[in-house]
A and B are shown apart, each in its own frame.
Chain A
Amino acid sequence: MKVVGKNVIKIDAFKLARGEPVFTDDFTRQGMLYAKVLRSPHPHARILNVDAAAALKLDGVVDVIWHRDVKAIPHTRAGQSYPEPSPYDTLILSPKARFIGDRVAVVVAESVAQAIAALDHIVVDYEELPALTDMDQSLTNSEILIHEEPDPRGISEAGMTNIAARIDKQVGDVEAALKECDLVVTRDYHLPRVQASHIEPHISIAWVDEDDRLIVRTSTQVPFHLRRMLARILEIPEARIRVIKPRVGGGFGDKQELVVEDLVGVLALRTGRPVRLEFTREEEFVAARYRHPQRVTMTTGVMKDGTIVANRMYVLADTGAYGSHALTVQGNTGQKVLPMYPVANIHFKMDCVYTNNPISGAFRGYGAPQGCFALECHMDEVARELGMDRLELRKKNHIKLGDTDPLSAKLGEGKEGLVRVVKSTGLEKAIELGCEAIGWGNKREPSAAHLKRGLGMALAMQGSGIAGVDWGGATVKLNDDGSVNLSVGATDIGQGSDTVLAQMCAEELGIPYEKVIILSSDTDLTPFDVGAYASSTTYISGGAVVKAAAEVRGQLAGVLGSHWECEPEDIVFSDGMVTGPGDQSMTIAEVALFALYKAMIQPMATASHMSNDSPPPFAAQFAEVEVDTETGQVHLCRFVSAVDCGTVIHPKMVEGQIEGAVAQGMGYALFEEVLLDRTGRVLTPDFLDYKIASSLDVPEMVTILVPTDEPTGPYGAKAAGEVPIDGPAPAIVNAICDAVGVRMFRIPATAERVWRGLKEETR
C-alpha cells in the first residue's frame, strides 16, 4: 500500500502549530453576547422564584432566563443515536436543582465581566430538600427521590426509587457453577470520579443568520446528534439548524454530550444576537461530566488447574444528578470487559443510581476502564490464591481466534445486541512481545534499599463502533487537477480522523495524500455520521470513505474503458497515474479533465457504512514500578503497551493514541480523583488540586503495534482510541502489589493509601 500504513504529516498539524484561528472561540461575531450560568449552591432544592430585576438594571445585561422562560421538554443530554438509550430526565432549565452547580438561571450581557457581575444580583428563592450523595444510600433510600416528576421517561424505576438504570444478564448458571469450583474468590474494587480534562473547555457560539436559521459553532464530538436534539428541545425543525464543528481541543467523551449548546441556542433565538458560552476550568470540574465512580464486586470460580468456570461482576455506579449514559456506560463495564475470559458461566449485574452529586457521563473507554481494573486486578488475586502464575492463568483462559463473545448478544447498546465472533486477534503475540519488552519474570534490582520494584500486567479488549448502530457517510468528488474533495460527517476532535480518512481515500484512488481536501462535520455540507465515540471512526467512517472512493474509481474506469476500449477492471490506479492493459496511461489530472470536459460527468459518489460487527482491538499492557517503602510513593518507571488494532493506517498516530491513553490511565491509577464533600461540593475544581500527568510524570513508554487483518474492517483496520486506556490502572496496581505485597482495592494509589497499606501489612 502506498498511503495506508505510512506516517504522513497529520493533515492539520501545521496550522495548529501556527496557532491559526481554527477553534470555536477563535472568532467572534458582530454584536456577540456572553452568557454565564447561575449555579445552585444547594445539592437538592426547589427553585421557587428567580428575581432578576436588579440584574437586568445593570449596565450591559441583556437578558436573564430561568425555568419559567423555557418550555419543559424532558430529554437526555447524552449524544447518542436516536432513540437514545439514556433516560429523558433533563430539562434545559429545571424547577429543581439536583446538585451543587446545577443550572438555575442564565445571564447574557455585552461582556463576560458584566455577565459575571450580574450573577450576584439575581435573587433566588430556594426550598431546600434533603439530599443523597452516597450511592449506597441512594440504592436503599426511596424517601428522598431525586427524580420524582411524572414526565421523565426511560428511568429504570421512575417515581419509586433512585435507580436510573439496571442490568441483570446471565450466561449459563453462575450460582450452580460456583458450587462445583475448587476455589471461589470474591473482592470489591473501588473506582474514583475522574474528569476528562481536555485543555479546550466546552464552548459554543450560536447565532441566527440572514435566513432565520440557527447556526451553532461548537466544540463537540456529535454534531449530527446535536442538531437532532436541539431541534426537539428548541422546537424548531432540523432544517433551521446548522451545527458546525471546527477544530476541537480534545473531547475524550466529555463532548459526546449537549453541555452548553442548548443554552446558546435558546438565547440566540430569544435575543436575535450571537451568544457565546464558554466554561471556566472550574465549571469543567463542576458541571461537565465524569467517569462514573463505581464499586465493582468480582466473584470468580476456578478449578485447581486454573480453568475459570464462572465469573460474576456486580457494579454499583453513581450517575450523579442526571442519567446521561447511565445504562450504556455501565453496560459496557460488563460487555466490553468480561468477554476477555469467555467462560461458560457469566453473570453481570449493575445498578446505576442517582445522587445529588455532579453528573457522570462518557469518558474514553466508556465503562471499560472500571471493569478492566476490577477484572484484571482480580485475575492477579485469583492467581495468588490459587498459587498459579498470573500470566499462565490469563493465557489459559483468555479469548482466542474463533471464540464467540459470550455477552455481546445479551448486551447491546441499551438493548439486545448482536453475536460477536473474534475474526482477528493478535493478543497472543501482544502478550509475548509485551513480556519480552518489560522483562517479565526478570525483575530488575531497585535503585535504592528503601525502594522495591514490581511488575504488573493487564489484558484489555474494546470494540470498534457499536455493532448495528453506528454508521457514517462520506462523499468523494474529483476536481479538474486530480484533487478530490472528501466530505465526511466523522468528527475529528484531535485524534486525527481527518488524516486517516484522507489516507484511505488517497489509497483507494491511487493518488497522493496531499491531493485530498477534507471537510468534516458540518451538518449542512457533509453527510451524516454518528460522531466520534465508541472507537468507531476509523472502522466505521473509514468503511464509508473506502466505498465512496471505490465508486469514484469505478466511474473513472468506466469512462476510460470506453475511451481505451478495454475492460474497466483492467485499469489500474496508482501513484497518481491511471494505466490501461496496453500502454495507455494518464495522470489523474488528465483523467479528471477528460471526465469533466470530454465525458462531461462529475466523478462523484456518496456512500454509507454500517457494520453488524464490532471487532475487538486487543491490548496487553505491562508496568514496572518502584515503590518507596518509607513514604508509599509509587514511581512508574516503564510502561509497555502491545496493541492489536488490525491493520495500522497511520502508525505514529496510533502510537500517539496509545501513549496519550497511558498517560490518562496512569493518572487514574496514581493521582487523579475529584473529591467531593458530603454535600457533593467539588473540592478539587482546578489543575492544582486535580492533577493530570505532566511531562515530568510520564514514564518511558514502549509501544508495540501488533497488526492483524480484520476481515470486516477497511484495509483490515480495527479501532485504537479506547482500548489502551483500559489496562494501565490494573497493570500499575498489580505491579505495586508485586513490589510490596499491598493490594490497592481503591484507586488512585496515592502515596498515603499505599503507605497505609504498608503499615497494615506489617502490623
Chain B
Amino acid sequence: MKFTLMLNGEQRDFDCEPTRRLLDLLRGDAGLTGVKEGCGQGECGACSILLGDRLVNSCMVAVGQVADRPITTIEGYSRTTRFAVLRDAFGKAGAVQCGFCTPGMIMACEALLRQNNRPRAPEIRLALAGNLCRCTGYNMIVDAVETAAREGKGLW
C-alpha cells in the first residue's frame, strides 16, 4: 500500500504493508536511525517518537495506523531550540552514558514538557517511567529535565 506520512515536518511517500512496524519503516525506509530498538515489545522506550503530541513506542504501532498524524523523531526534534536546551542540560547533568536510550528519553522529555513546563521531580519520574536506562540510575536524567525546564523558560 502507498502511504504519505508527515515525518519531521516533511511529506514523504512510502510503499509498504500497512502492518509494517512503524519502527522498521523509520529506521529502514526513512533512514531515521536515531530511533532505536531495544526490545521490540513496547517495554524499553528506546524507539519513542511523538505522534502528534503523544509519546508512543514506534515498535508497537503499525504504519497503517499513523498516516493521518504528524510524526516527530529525534532527527526532526534535534533541529529545534528546545532540543538544544535539553541536550545541554543532559550533557551537564551526566544524563548520557551509553546514549542508546537517550534519543527516546529526550522525546519523552519533550512530550512531558509540552504538557507541563515546570514539572516537579515525581512528575518527571512518572513521565520517564516507560523509558528504560540501564546506565545512569535515572536521577541525573531527572536533574537534566528540571534544569532544561528552568533554562528553557518560555520555550515550552
Contacts and interface: CB of A to CB of B under 8 A. Distances in A.
Given A17-B106, A281-B40, A653 B94 contact: yes
Interface of A: 7, 9-10, 12-14, 16-23, 25-27, 196-201, 247-250, 252, 280-281, 493-496, 652-653, 655-656, 659-664, 686-688, 692-696, 698, 700-701
A494 B90 CA distance: 15
A184 to B, nearest CB: 39
A698 B138 contact: yes
A199 B94 contact: no
B73 interface: yes
A695 B40 contact: no
A661 B134 CA distance: 9
Given A13-B91, A660-B134, 9 more contacts: A10-B94, A18-B75, A19-B103, A21-B33, A199-B100, A250-B98, A281-B40, A660-B97, A701-B137
B91 A17 contact: yes
Interface centre among A250, A496, A662 (most CB of B within 10 A): A250
Interface residues of B, number: 52
Across the A-B interface, the 4 shortest Cβ-Cβ residue pairs: A19-B34, A494-B98, A16-B99, A249-B100
Nearest to B24: A112
Interface of B: 32-41, 43-44, 46, 73-75, 78, 83, 86-87, 90-94, 96-103, 106, 124-126, 128-142
A14 B38 contact: no
Contacts of B93: 652
Contacts of A493: 98
Nearest to A250: B98
Contacts of B139: 659, 698, 700-701
Contact of A656 (B35, B87, B130, B135): B135
B148 to A, nearest CB: 12
A6 B26 CA distance: 39
Q: Report whether over half of chain A's contact residues are helix, strand or loop; otherwise say mixed.
A: loop
A19 B76 CA distance: 10
Contact of A696 (B35, B101, B125): B125
Contacts of B44: 199, 281, 687
A688 B130 CA distance: 11
B109 to A, nearest CB: 11
Given A18-B34, A19-B78, A698-B138, A199 B96 contact: no
A687 B132 CA distance: 9
A367 B112 CA distance: 40
Interface centre among B36, B102, B135 (most CB of A within 10 A): B135
Contacts of A25: 33, 37
Contacts of B97: 10, 250, 494-496, 656, 660
A732 to B, nearest CB: 14
Contacts of A688: 41, 43
Contact of B87 (A18, A249, A664, A692): A18
